[in-house]
Amino acid sequence: MDATLKDRIPISEPDLSGKELEYAAECVRSGWISSLGAYVTRFESSFASFCGARHGVATANGTAAIHLALVALGIKPGDEVIVPTLTFVASANAVTYTGARPVFADSDAATWTISPQDIERKIGPRTRAVLVVHLYGHPVDMAPILDIARKHKLWVIEDAAEAHGTEYRGRRVGNLGDVGTFSFYGNKTITTGEGGMIVTDDDNLRARLTLLRDQAMSPERRYWHDEIGFNYRLTNLQAAIGVAQLERIETFLARKRAIARCYADLLADVPGLTLAPEAPWAKSSFWMYTVLVEDGFPLDRDRLAAHLAEQGIDTRPVFHPMHTLPPYRAAGPFPVAENLARRGINLPSSVRLTDAQIQRVAGAIRSAR
Of 39-47, 78-86, 155-163, 357-365, the window that binds ligand PLP (rule: CB under 6 A) is 155-163
Choose the stretch contacting ligand PLP; rule: CB under 6 A; options: 56-64, 149-157, 212-220, 228-236. 56-64
Mask 218-257, x = binds ligand PLP (CB under 6 A)? Answer: ----------------------------------------
Does 43 engage in binding with ligand PLP (CB under 6 A)? no
Strands 127-133 and 171-172, sheet pairing? unpaired
Residue (of 241, 191, 189) closest to 351 by Cα position:
189
Q: Minimal distance in Å, beta carbon 210 to ligand PLP? A: 19
210 binds ligand PLP (CB under 6 A): no
Give the x/- contact pattern for ligand PLP in 158-187, rule: CB under 6 A: -x-xx--------------------x-x--
Question: Angle at the Cα of 263 (from 260 to 268), degrees rounded to 5?
Answer: 120
CA distance 142 to 145: 5
Helix 89-97 vs helix 62-72: angle between axes, to the nearest 10 degrees?
40
To the nearest 10 degrees (0 to 180), the angle between helices 38-50 and 236-247 is 40
Answer yes or no whether residue 14 interacts with ligand PLP by CB under 6 A.
Answer: no
Please choose, out of 57-65, 138-146, 238-246, 271-279, the segment that lies near ligand PLP by the rule CB under 6 A. 57-65
Measured CA to CA, the distance from residue 168 to residue 285 in angstroms comes to 11
User: What SS3 state is found at 145?
Assistant: helix
* CA 323 to chain CA mean position, Å: 19
Site for ligand PLP in 71-130 (CB under 6 A): 87-88, 90-91
Contact (CB, 8 A) for 39 and 239? yes
141 binds ligand PLP (CB under 6 A): no
| CA gap 55, 46 in Å, rounded | 9
Under the binding rule (CB under 6 A), the answer on residue 286 touching ligand PLP is no
The stretch near ligand PLP (CB under 6 A) out of 143-151, 156-164, 218-226, 335-343 is 156-164
Residue 37 binds to ligand PLP (criterion: CB under 6 A)? no
Which range, of 35-43, 58-66, 211-219, 273-281, touches ligand PLP by CB under 6 A?
A: 58-66
Looking at the DSSP bridge assignments, the partners of residue 161 are none
How many whole angstroms separate alpha carbon 228 and alpha carbon 247?
36
Residues in the chain: 369
Minimum distance, C-beta of residue 152 to ligand PLP, in the bound complex (Å) = 24
Question: Please, what is the minimum distance in Å from the beta carbon of residue 305 to ligand PLP?
Answer: 19
Pick the closest to residue 160 from 124, 191, 125, 136 (CA basis).
Answer: 136
Interaction between residue 69 and ligand PLP (CB under 6 A): no
Question: Would you count residue 282 as binding ligand PLP (CB under 6 A)?
Answer: no
d(CA 239, CA 38): 9
Footprint of ligand PLP (CB under 6 A): 61-63, 87-88, 90-91, 133, 159, 161-162, 183, 185, 196
